[in-house]
Amino acid sequence: MSNFKNPDSKAVSALLSLAASKFGTTPEQLEAMLKSGKADRAVSGLPKDQQDKLRAALADPEAAKKVLSSPQARSLMEKLKKK
């Protein structure tokens, strides 16, 4: 079973795919940017208000956990897992 600190690989892949499509990149490129600490480059294609919201969520693990546990996020992850 996965949890917030140790998500399962399908959930991570689903989130990377979703985020990459929003950022106009591939999941592999996005993962590489995030792992190398170049997340600012990954979000540069988003509108300023969305960049700020994303940075705030990434800076606050509890906020990120709240977003990821929302019914909308859970529904989206379930849909993406089925693909």
- Tell me: the pLDDT tens digits for 33-59? 878 877 677 677 778 887 787 777 767
Amino acid identity of 76?
A: L
The SS3 call for residue 70 is: coil
Q: Give yes or no for a contact between 18 and 76, defined as CB atoms under 8 angstroms apart.
A: yes
pTM: 0.48
Amino acid identity of 47?
A: P
In this prediction, residue 1 has a pLDDT band, given cuts at 50, 70 and 90, of very low
